[in-house]
Structure 1
Amino acid sequence: MENIICACGHSNPYGTKLCEKCGRPLTEEGKQTKVVDMRYDGTAIRSKTYNKTVIDKIWNFFSNVKVGIALIIITLVSASIGTILPQEIYVNAPDAGKAEYYEKVYGWFGKLYNYLGLSDLYSTWWFQILVGMLATSIIVASLDRGIPLHKSLKNQRVKRHESFMKRQRIVAEGQVLNPDETLDKVEQKMTELKYHVRRDGSALLAERGRFARYGPYINHVGLIIFLAGVMLRLVPGFHVDETIWIREGETRAIPGMDGYFVKNNKFILETHDNKPQGEQESQGVNVVAKNFQTDVTLYKQPEGSLPGDLDNLEKVRDYSIRVNHPLKESGFALYQMNYRLNELKQMNFNLVNKGTDESFGQIEIDLTNPKKEYDLGNGSSVQILVYTPDFDGFENGEPQTKTSIPNNPAFLFKMTTPETPKGEVSFVQIMQQPLEPLGENKYRMKFAGAETRNTANFTIRKDSTIPILFVGGIIFMIGVVIGSYWNHRRLWLQIESDGRVLMAAHVNKNMFSMKKDLDAVSTFADLPPYKDQLEKIEDVGKSTKRGTKEKEGDNTL
């Protein structure tokens, strides 16, 4: 598209509404209006100029203010839905049991909430796309309007055409006795009022608070940084929020902390001596914890070691993790969150003859890592065909487990003795009669005792996005303050060849502040009375003497 040539000879980019040099209106609408639109100083805005190619349409879509507002509302509503029920990262349940947790605690609504993915809302692909679209809208809108506005403000001309001056909201026209003296007085007074004054022959431009025009764009920069911090939480290494259960005596790799291991040396629970009362008693609380902590040892895997190699770990330090006293290392923090007391560690069984109660030996089953077969000697052995740590009934004839935690262990044993070389099968569950699916057996597995241990629950957290979010929030607030408490004021004054004085003023908001300064400079330089072309009463602009008398009267009162 061709540039627009103004009557002054200046070549303006297509879409420009006011000539960049003299300020003449370049559109029919601008020529017919009484007060020109100074929102972007008449510069060409891409989204309001081009709309032909696919790129233009995409650009115009994201730069549309209504689209941006709609994306903000949708994002806020979606984020608020994620607060109705706790997110998965705050649910104290294993990954496999989280769906069951929502259904058990919150009923059908919790089941539906989890099924729709709302329990892990902020990590879902569609929410991240929504945040990305919002960030794109803010960036495009800022570039679309901010860059042309910056160029226009940076390249302002002092001398403007009469049509530009007369189409400002505040205008004045008249004669003065001494034009040069008037210009000097205006420059002096405006300088005292902290305006930046530039002169070009018989023309003057006084400007103050230009930086206020950048307030909204500073807001946008802060929001973009903030949203970038939100999206970086999905990038590995920036945000870690994991949970781990560690039994006493166990050493496990720390999820999210590559190369680090932690050993649970001992779990300690201290309780208050006083009995539970009120709500605690009604909820069946037996004791109230005063302190629970885990004494741990932190290890680090040497460089070059194979993953999972526990033989050559380097000790980092010992530490007692308590509530609100996490173990911190390399930007990570391990928080004590929960515990389980008396978890089954080992179960012992005797292989006995059902008729004589004669024992052929004892097996000790490590419930964390049970063996497949136990040799009792003299031709007797016990083989574990199926092990379910948390027995939950049968499905299609096969035993099922709810979780991997040994809350309700059950075993399908195959018992072999010299008398029964082909072996006998028995399904054994604590506190239940053994099942003999292949007929009556001569031998059985008799429970002989169990060992328990405590288990501690830790949350591993690292959030490298916090500084990014903090910086984005601070920048956003700076933009809010700038946009709220400052304004961009401009005054043009020029002496025409016939001796007339033309004055025009513009402020992006808070016209009262501009009029206050105009009253002061008009009084000092004896300028013609001004008028506000948007007010219903045309003669609102007061003469210098009248305005001064009214102010003096106010002061007297």
Structure 2
Amino acid sequence: MRTALLLLFTLAVVAIPGSLLPQRPVAPIRVSDWKAANPAVADLYERLGLFDVYHSPWFAAVYLLLMISLIGCIVPRIGVYVRALSTPPPRTPRHLHRLPAQASGTTALSADEALDAGEALLRSKRFRVRRDGESVAAERGYLREFGNILFHLSFVIMLVGLGWNSLWGYKGEVITVEGQAFSNNLTQYDDFTAGAAFKPADLAPFTVWIDRFTAKFETGEVQRGAARVFSADVRVAHADGSPETATIEVNEPLVVDGTQIHLVGHGYAPVVTVTDPTGQVAFSGPVVFLPQDGNFTSMGVVKVPDARPQYLGFEGFFLPTAVVDDQGPRSVFPDALQPEMFLTVWAGEPRTETGLPESVYSLNKTGLTQMRTPDGTLVTFKIAPGQIVDLPDGSKLSFDDWRRWTKLQVSYEPGLWLVIASVLLAVAGVSASLYIRPRRLWLRVRPDADGALRVEAGGLDRAESATGLADDVDELAAAAGVPHPDARDGVEGPGVAEVAATDDDDSTPASPAAAQEVAR
């Protein structure tokens, strides 16, 4: 257990870089930016795997060692527990009056009647009972140790579930505009991470259409602009082609063939049409703009590589509720009450297609210059839905409409049910170990010096915080025919050393801390 705790602490320490440094599976662009800003240590960090901590060999090594240590801790305890289940309660100690709680007195019952009555009471309270001649020994609370074992075993189950997810699971994100669809295919994802054992053929074949995205915000003075409703009305087509309708809301994912689809973000996509100087439509469709603040001031670019005779690029902001004041153009409300775009124009020689991936959210300005009017003024303009702007080179941009886009997180976690089960088992184990009270009771009936039958009852708790021991002892004595116990001490008792000095091998120490020695 000491080794397991040390490894658990080590696992927490080695996970720290994952919180301090950007991680490639989550934020690859931030990793690139960090490496560009810190070239002196970037290569070293890369070799150490600090940009993908949770998939690094050294993190996996600590993870596996922790699992091995936990198994090495649990297996011996299970063996001890199984042997304890098959072992009868310990024999009755010679000096019951030295136990923390005890009661004694004479009885009018015969010895067999008193012992039978005590045994019946103990069995009714779910004690395991052992009867030897003139005494009865009983014990209960075996499930307490089972709870401890279950709690530790739940950690192993959790590690297995997490490992299962890590090896065979996957997670991807995709932005889909209203009216468009997403198919569960690697080429459709904007970002995708998967485990080492994952294969593209493991992707469940389905398609999701985003028919409508609904967003509502608070319009009152209190919490103005706060989100109230985010939901996506979708259609899903399974592998067999059977369609179904569904609604995805925050914290209410759609589950398709074991794959979870979460709603994790949304924004605006202006619909624009660009006509080049030759009169040809070079671009037409929605363009995703990324929100920059709580009022959805959104930044984006419109790339028109097919424009002729020049490549055209537009860069700027979409403001759902636009105002222009001393702070400049900005949005003052997240809903599209007065949408406008503020754009600048870039132009340059047409580019040769290289096939290399390029971000759709930023404009590569290499070889481009900002467009100017004939008098040399930079071309910047404001445009609202339904308007058209004529540019100095003869091209045109029209702001046709706007739509909402939805960011979906698609994840497959085959071991998630195992992780959830382990958490439930851990709670059950802790509850059992906290609330089950291991307790031992003994009853002896034998004649005293005057020839009367004397009853002695005693008890010992194996948990420091247990209560009610004295009441159980009194009840046991009363069942054996002692109406009013004439001696009881439920508060103090002699220490282990005193008991050991006066009792022989079958005695029971009064201290709960020495309860494991009772059977000896």
TM-score, normalised by the number of residues in structure 2: 0.54
Aligned ranges for residues 377-526 of structure 1 at < 5 Å? 385-386=351-352, 403-405=358-360, 407-408=362-363, 427-428=367-368, 431=371, 448-450=395-397, 455-491=405-441, 506-510=460-464, 513-521=468-476, 524=481
Q: Report the secondary structure of 2:352's partner residue.
A: strand
**Cα deviations across residues 361-406 of structure 1 (Å, max 9, x unaligned)?**
85836889978999xxxxxxx99553599xxxxxxxxxx98x4206
Closer/same/farther in 2, CA of residues 157 and 341 from structure 1, 3 Å limit: closer
Q: Could you tell me how far apart the structure 2 residues matched to 1:168 and 1:140 are? A: 41
Contact kept, 8 Å, 1:323 with 1:335, in 2: the verdict is yes
Structure 1 residue 142, shift from structure 2 partner: 1.9
Contact kept, 8 Å, 1:336 with 1:456, in 2: the verdict is yes
Judge which range, 120-129 or 80-89, deviates more.
80-89
Q: 1:68 matched to which residue of 2?
A: 4
Q: 1:61 matched to which residue of 2?
A: none
Count of residue pairs brought into register by the alignment: 390
Q: 1:534 matched to which residue of 2?
A: 495
Q: Could you tell me how far apart the structure 1 residues matched to 2:204 and 2:305 are? A: 28
Judge which range, 480-489 or 332-341, deviates more.
332-341
Aligned ranges for residues 171-186 of structure 1 at < 5 Å? 181-182=110-111, 184-186=113-115
Letter in 2 for 1:151: R
Q: 2:176 matched to which residue of 1?
A: 246
Aligned ranges for residues 240-319 of structure 1 at < 5 Å? 240-247=170-177, 251-254=181-184, 257-263=203-209, 296-301=234-239, 314=241, 316-317=243-244
Q: Report the secondary structure of 1:259's partner residue.
A: coil
**Cα deviations across residues 343-367 of structure 1 (Å, max 9, x unaligned)?**
68775544xxxxxxxx6x8583688
Q: 2:69 matched to which residue of 1?
A: 137
Q: Could you tell me how far apart the structure 2 residues matched to 1:487 and 1:507 are? A: 7
Q: Report the secondary structure of 2:172's partner residue.
A: strand
Letter in 2 for 1:364: A
Letter in 2 for 1:71: L
Contact kept, 8 Å, 2:308 with 2:350, in 1: the verdict is yes
Q: Could you tell me how far apart the structure 2 residues matched to 1:265 and 1:475 are? A: 41
TM-score, normalised by the number of residues in structure 1: 0.51
Q: Report the secondary structure of 2:171's partner residue.
A: strand
Contact kept, 8 Å, 2:174 with 2:408, in 1: the verdict is yes
**Cα deviations across residues 125-178 of structure 1 (Å, max 9, x unaligned)?**
544543443333333222212212321341337668xxx8679983999x9999
Query: Cα RMSD between the aligned structures?
Result: 5.8
Aligned ranges for residues 351-390 of structure 1 at < 5 Å? 362=280, 364=282, 385-386=351-352
Structure 1 residue 489, shift from structure 2 partner: 2.3
Closer/same/farther in 2, CA of residues 103 and 250 from structure 1, 3 Å limit: farther
Specify every segment of 5 or more residues in structure 2 that has no aligned partner in the other structure, as ranges. Answer: 186-201, 285-301, 310-347, 374-391, 503-520
Whether 1:335 and 2:265 are equivalent positions in the alignment is no
Q: Could you tell me how far apart the structure 1 residues matched to 2:112 and 2:303 are? A: 92
Contact kept, 8 Å, 1:206 with 1:492, in 2: the verdict is yes
Closer/same/farther in 2, CA of residues 144 and 329 from structure 1, 3 Å limit: same
Q: Could you tell me how far apart the structure 2 residues matched to 1:490 and 1:269 are? A: 64
Q: Could you tell me how far apart the structure 2 residues matched to 1:153 and 1:269 are? A: 60
Contact kept, 8 Å, 1:326 with 1:333, in 2: the verdict is yes
Q: Report the secondary structure of 2:166's partner residue.
A: coil
Q: Could you tell me how far apart the structure 1 residues matched to 2:467 and 2:351 are? A: 88
Contact kept, 8 Å, 1:165 with 1:502, in 2: the verdict is no
Contact kept, 8 Å, 1:409 with 1:430, in 2: the verdict is no
Closer/same/farther in 2, CA of residues 386 and 515 from structure 1, 3 Å limit: same
Aligned ranges for residues 542-553 of structure 1 at < 5 Å? none
Q: Could you tell me how far apart the structure 2 residues matched to 1:247 and 1:206 are? A: 71
Q: 2:313 matched to which residue of 1?
A: none
Specify every segment of 5 or more residues in structure 1 that has no aligned partner in the other structure, as ranges. Answer: 1-64, 281-286, 303-313, 351-358, 375-381, 390-399, 412-426, 434-444, 542-557
Q: Could you tell me how far apart the structure 2 residues matched to 1:263 and 1:78 are? A: 42
Whether 1:227 and 2:181 are equivalent positions in the alignment is no
**Cα deviations across residues 170-204 of structure 1 (Å, max 9, x unaligned)?**
3999x999999446424523532523433244453
Closer/same/farther in 2, CA of residues 244 and 169 from structure 1, 3 Å limit: farther
Q: Could you tell me how far apart the structure 1 residues matched to 2:99 and 2:252 are? A: 64
Match for 1:192 among 121, 126, 133?
A: 121
Structure 1 residue 430, shift from structure 2 partner: 5.5
Closer/same/farther in 2, CA of residues 290 and 449 from structure 1, 3 Å limit: farther
Structure of greater Rg = 1
Letter in 1 for 2:184: I
Letter in 2 for 1:330: D
Letter in 2 for 1:298: V
Letter in 2 for 1:459: Q
Higher relative contact order (CA 8 A, sep 6+): 2
Q: Could you tell me how far apart the structure 1 residues matched to 2:106 and 2:215 are? A: 94
Q: Report the secondary structure of 1:198's partner residue.
A: strand
Letter in 2 for 1:210: Y
Q: Report the secondary structure of 2:395's partner residue.
A: strand
Contact kept, 8 Å, 2:276 with 2:307, in 1: the verdict is no
Q: Could you tell me how far apart the structure 2 residues matched to 1:218 and 1:515 are? A: 30
Q: 1:207 matched to which residue of 2?
A: 139
Closer/same/farther in 2, CA of residues 122 and 141 from structure 1, 3 Å limit: same
Q: Could you tell me how far apart the structure 1 residues matched to 2:252 and 2:90 are? A: 64
